[in-house]
Amino acid sequence: MPFSPEPIDLFIGHKIRHFRTKKAWPLKVLADRLDISLQQVQKYELGQSRISAGLLYKLGIIFDVSPGLFFDGFILDESHHSSNQADHHLNILVIDDNPEDDFILRKALEDTPQPLNVYTIHSGDDALTFFRALEGQGVTELPKPHIIFLDLHMPHMNGLDLLKSLKTKPICQNIPIVILTNSSNAKDMTEAYKHHASGFVRKSFSFDEFKAHIQQVVTYWTKAVVLPELAA
């Protein structure tokens, strides 16, 4: 069966071409640095070959950028899914200042069976601005999320302070907010649940373990229980 490009493949290919041309490199320079054929580089840039996480990390090193930047600005268009898709389209908002953690979370969500929009906001202040816009006090092109993954440790406004602020907003009260953190601090966990967090997931050193936990979270909030905006 011939390879059918997905929007994410085309988007990443465009990013690769952007970073390559920014350095004024011909295709052969990048091919040599990756130790692959020039034709294969062309396929990546045209979105005609799917790129592995390992290759993206290597490209990040070559271009001296975070791997998360290859996804920056990407919003999945549900129109590329078949019209008879049984599951609802799911909007997932990630609030995390670390592009590497954002990248890993996106990889963990990659095999989720239902179609996703995964988009990222990089600070607490930007998150509050976004939700004010959703409340009608501004303009945003991003959709209302069904699930929020919130990093606990961020500069300026940490995850707990942002959680408290978001849960005072009527628009956020029915949205599950799941805390993501490296912390094992029981106080952090208690405070998160006190302020209506819907879960507390540790960022495991094992990607497979972390992926399993993230997939379980999504399955729980879309299959085991019914979210108001996803109710039939």
Q: For 212-227, how does the pLDDT look when each residue is reduced to its tens digit (9 = 90+)?
A: 999 999 988 888 876 7
Q: What is the pTM of this model?
A: 0.65
Selection from 98, 3, 106 nearest residue 46 by Cα: 3
Let me know: does 154 contact 124? Beta carbons within 8 Å: yes
Element (H, E) at 200: strand 199-202
Q: What is the C-alpha separation between 37 and 153, in angstroms, rounded?
A: 42
Query: Which has more confidence, 3 or 121?
Result: 121
Q: What is the C-alpha separation between 81 and 89, in angstroms, rounded?
A: 10
Q: Which of 5-9, 101-105, 123-127 has the lowest mean pLDDT?
A: 5-9
Alpha-helical segments (H) within the chain: 7-22, 27-34, 38-45, 53-63, 99-108, 124-132, 159-166, 186-194, 207-219
pLDDT of residue 150 exceeding 90: yes
Q: What is the C-alpha separation between 64 and 171, in angstroms, rounded?
A: 39
